[in-house]
C-alpha cells in the first residue's frame, strides 16, 4: 500500500511553496458527468417551479386586524429591491464569486499550491476547464439554486399558511367598515409578511457563497500554519455577510417586514444553504490528504485524486 503524505494546511488558495508538482496526462478526460445529476437538476427545477406557483397564485390566510394596531400602521413606501432583483442578486453573486476564485487559481504561480486538486500543471487548458473548473462550477451552481429553491418553497408555503400582516398593511388595505378597498394584489401581498422572502433568498445565496469562501480561503481552518497574515481570509468572507445584512435592513426600512420576519427568513436561508453546500462539498475544515476527496472546497465526487502519479481517473459520483 503506498504511503500517503499529509499536508498540514487545509487552505486551498495559499500553501507553502516548494511542494512537489504532480504529473498529469494532457489528453484523456478525467471526469464523467454522472447521469443522476440530471435528476438533481429536474427535482430542483420542480421545487423552484412549485415555489413560484405558490407565490403567484396561492391565497394567504385572511387574518383579522385592528385598524388601531400600530404594528400595521406604517406608510407604504416604494420598493427598492424587487423579488426578481433579489433572485438576480443571488445568482449573479455566485457567478461573480466563482469567476474571481477560478481566475485567481488560473494565475497561481508555479510552486504555489502546486499539489492541490485544482492545479492545471501538465493538463491541456481545454481539459482543465472541462474536467476541473466546470466540475466545481457545476456543483456550486447546482447547490446554490437548490438552496434558493428549497428556501423559496419553505418561505412561500409558510407565508400562505400564517397570513401575517405587513407593517404597511393598513395603507394597502384602506379599510372601510371592516372591508379593504385597496388594490386586491397589494392587499394580498400585505398578508404575506412572515417570513421574509427577500431575506430568505439572500440568506440562501449569500450563505452558500459564505460557506464556499470559508472553504476555499481556509478562513476557519485550524492547522499548524502560522496565524500571522490570515486575517484577510476572514475579511473576504465578510463580503456575503454584508450583502445579507444590507438586504435585511432594506426590508425593514421600506416597511415591508417586522424584525421577526427578517430573522426567521434569513436563518431559514442560511440553514438550507449550509445543507445544500454540504450535500455536494465536504466539511469546511477538511484537510487535504493524498488520494482523498474529503478536501475543503473540493466537490465530493472527483475530479482528481491529488498528487496521483498515474493521473488515474476517479469515479466517486455515487458516494457524493
> What's the whole-model pTM score?
0.82
Is the pLDDT at 45 greater than 60? The verdict is: yes
Cell reading at 101: 476564485
Tens digit of each residue's pLDDT (9 = 90 or more) over 239-287: 999 999 999 999 999 999 999 999 999 999 999 999 999 999 988 877 6
**Which regions of 127-263 does DSSP assign to beta strands (E)?**
175-176, 179-180
| Mean of per-residue pLDDT scores for the chain | 81
Name the packing angle between helices 83-106 and 197-217 (round to 10°).
10
Please say whether the beta carbons of 254 and 79 come within 8 A: yes
Q: How far apart are CA 313 and CA 302, in angstroms?
A: 8
Band of pLDDT at residue 106, cut at 50, 70 and 90: confident
Which residues fall within 8 angstroms of residue 82, CB to CB, at 6 or more apart? none
The pLDDT of residue 223: 61
Please say whether the beta carbons of 219 and 283 come within 8 A: no
Tens digit of each residue's pLDDT (9 = 90 or more) over 150-206: 999 999 999 999 999 999 999 999 999 889 999 999 999 999 999 999 999 999 999
The pLDDT of residue 68: 94
Is the pLDDT at 235 greater than 80? The verdict is: yes
Q: How far apart are CA 311 and CA 28, in angstroms?
A: 10
Q: How much is the average pLDDT of 208-232? A: 79
Band of pLDDT at residue 16, cut at 50, 70 and 90: very low
Q: Which of 299, 5, 52 is nearest to 153 (CA)?
A: 52
Tens digit of each residue's pLDDT (9 = 90 or more) over 51-67: 999 999 999 999 999 99
Q: How far apart are CA 8 and CA 92, in angstroms?
A: 34
Amino acid at each position: 500500500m503506498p504511503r500517503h503524505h499529509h499536508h498540514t494546511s487545509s487552505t486551498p488558495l495559499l500553501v507553502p511553496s516548494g511542494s512537489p508538482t504532480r504529473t498529469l496526462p494532457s489528453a484523456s478526460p478525467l471526469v464523467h458527468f454522472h447521469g443522476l445529476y440530471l435528476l438533481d437538476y429536474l427535482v430542483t427545477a420542480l421545487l423552484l417551479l412549485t415555489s413560484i406557483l405558490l407565490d403567484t397564485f396561492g391565497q394567504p390566510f385572511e387574518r383579522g386586524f385592528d385598524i388601531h394596531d400600530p404594528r400595521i400602521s406604517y406608510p407604504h413606501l416604494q420598493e427598492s429591491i424587487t423579488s426578481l432583483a433579489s433572485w438576480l442578486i443571488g445568482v449573479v453573486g455566485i457567478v461573480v464569486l466563482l469567476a474571481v476564485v477560478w481566475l485567481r487559481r488560473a494565475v497561481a504561480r508555479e510552486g504555489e499550491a502546486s499539489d492541490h486538486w485544482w492545479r492545471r500543471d501538465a493538463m491541456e487548458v481545454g481539459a482543465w476547464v472541462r474536467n476541473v473548473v466546470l466540475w466545481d462550477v457545476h456543483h456550486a451552481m447546482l447547490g446554490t439554486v437548490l438552496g434558493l429553491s428549497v428556501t423559496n418553497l419553505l418561505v412561500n408555503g409558510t407565508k400562505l399558511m400564517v397570513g401575517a400582516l405587513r407593517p404597511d398593511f393598513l395603507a394597502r388595505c384602506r379599510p372601510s367598515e371592516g372591508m379593504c378597498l385597496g388594490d386586491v394584489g397589494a392587499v394580498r401581498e400585505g398578508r404575506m409578511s412572515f417570513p421574509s422572502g427577500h431575506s430568505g433568498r439572500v440568506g440562501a445565496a449569500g450563505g452558500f457563497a459564505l460557506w464556499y469562501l470559508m472553504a476555499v480561503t481556509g478562513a476557519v481552518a485550524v492547522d499548524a500554519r502560522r496565524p500571522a497574515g490570515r486575517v484577510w481570509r476572514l475579511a473576504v468572507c465578510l463580503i456575503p455577510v454584508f450583502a445579507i445584512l444590507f438586504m435585511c435592513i432594506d426590508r425593514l426600512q421600506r416597511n415591508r417586514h417586522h424584525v421577526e420576519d427578517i430573522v426567521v427568513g434569513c436563518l431559514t436561508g442560511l440553514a438550507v444553504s449550509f445543507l445544500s453546500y454540504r450535500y455536494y462539498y465536504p466539511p469546511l475544515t477538511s484537510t487535504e490528504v493524498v488520494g482523498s476527496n474529503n478536501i475543503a472546497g473540493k466537490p465530493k465526487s472527483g475530479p482528481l485524486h491529488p498528487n496521483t502519479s498515474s493521473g488515474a481517473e476517479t469515479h466517486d459520483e455515487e458516494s457524493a
